[in-house]
A and B are shown apart, each in its own frame.
Chain A
Amino acid sequence: MVDSNSDNQNTTESEETRSVFGASEEGNRAIQYLVEEKGWFQDERAAFRAALAYGAAKKIEPTVGGKYKSKWNIGTLEQAGRIRTLLIESGFTKDPYTLVNAIGDAALKEMYEKAKAGYTLSSILFDN
Chain B
Amino acid sequence: MKLLKLTLNNFGPYFDNQSMDLDVSDNAPIILVYGENERGKTSLLRAIRWCLYGEVHNQGGILMDEREFANYDARDRKEPFNVSVELEFEDQGVKSVLKRWMKVRENELEDTRIEIISRGVDLRPNSGNPVAERDIPEQISRMLHKDISDFFLFDGETLTRFEQRLRSAETSAALVRTSIEKVLGLPALQLMSRDIEALAAEANKEVQRVAKKSAENEKVLKDIDACSTAINNKQNDLVELRKIGKQLEEKNLDLEKQLAKVDSIKEAFHERKAIRDNKSDIQRDIGEIKEQIKGRISESWWAPAMPMLKRKSSEIDSMLSSNSQLLGQINDLQRKKIDLQQQVSTKRCSSCQQVVNDEQIRNAEKQILEIEAQLGSLPIPINNVDDVAFTKRQLSDFLEDSGVEERLRELDQDVLKRELRIDELSNKERALTEVLAGNTLDIAALESQYQRASEFIRDSEKEIEKKEFELTELKNQLRILQNSLNRETNESSPIKQEATLLSTLEEVLRDSLEGFRHSMRERVGEEASEIFTQLTTEPDYNGLTITGKYYLEIVDSQKRIISRRSAGAEQIVAMSLIGALVRCAVRQGPVIMDTPFGRLDTGHRRRILEWAPTIGTQVMLFVQSGEFDRERDIKFLGNKVGREFRIQREASNRSSIVGANYG
User: Which residues of A does B touch, CB under 8 Å?
Assistant: 39-42, 46, 49-50, 52-54, 56-57, 80-82, 85-86, 89-90, 120-123, 125-126
Contacts and interface: CB of A to CB of B under 8 A. Distances in A.
Contacts of B306: 57
Contact of A53 (B294, B303, B397): B303
A88 to B, nearest CB: 8
Interface residues of B, number: 29
B307 interface: yes
Contacts of A53: 301-305
Contacts of A49: 301-302
B395 interface: yes
Given A125-B303, A126-B405, A41 B294 contact: yes
A68 to B, nearest CB: 19
A90 to B, nearest CB: 7
Contacts of B409: 120, 122, 126
Interface centre among A50, A53, A54, A122 (most CB of B within 10 A): A122
B308 A89 contact: yes
Contacts of A39: 287, 290, 294
Contacts of B294: 39-42, 46
Interface of B: 287, 290, 293-295, 297-298, 301-309, 312, 391, 394-395, 397-398, 405, 408-409, 411-412, 415-416
Contacts of A57: 304-308
Contacts of B309: 86, 89
B297 A121 contact: yes
Which 5 A/B pairs are nearest by Cβ-Cβ distance? A120-B412, A57-B305, A49-B301, A122-B408, A125-B304
B592 to A, nearest CB: 42
A42 B295 CA distance: 7
Given A85-B394, A123-B412, A126-B409, A40 B293 contact: yes
Contacts of B408: 121-122, 125-126
A120 B293 CA distance: 11
B405 A56 contact: no
A86 B300 CA distance: 13
Given A46-B298, A80-B397, A122-B412, A86 B293 contact: no
Contacts of A52: 301
Contacts of A125: 297, 303-304, 405, 408
A41 B297 contact: yes
Given A120-B416, A121-B412, A122-B409, A56 B293 contact: no
Contacts of A120: 409, 412, 415-416
Contact of B297 (A50, A85, A90): A50
24 contacts: A39-B287, A39-B290, A39-B294, A40-B290, A40-B294, A41-B294, A42-B294, A46-B298, A50-B303, A52-B301, A53-B301, A54-B304, A54-B305, A82-B302, A82-B397, A86-B398, A90-B308, A120-B416, A121-B293, A122-B408, A125-B304, A125-B405, A126-B304, A126-B409
A123 B405 CA distance: 10
Contacts of A40: 290, 293-294, 297
Contact of A46 (B290, B297, B304): B297
A128 to B, nearest CB: 8
Nearest to B286: A39
A52 to B, nearest CB: 8
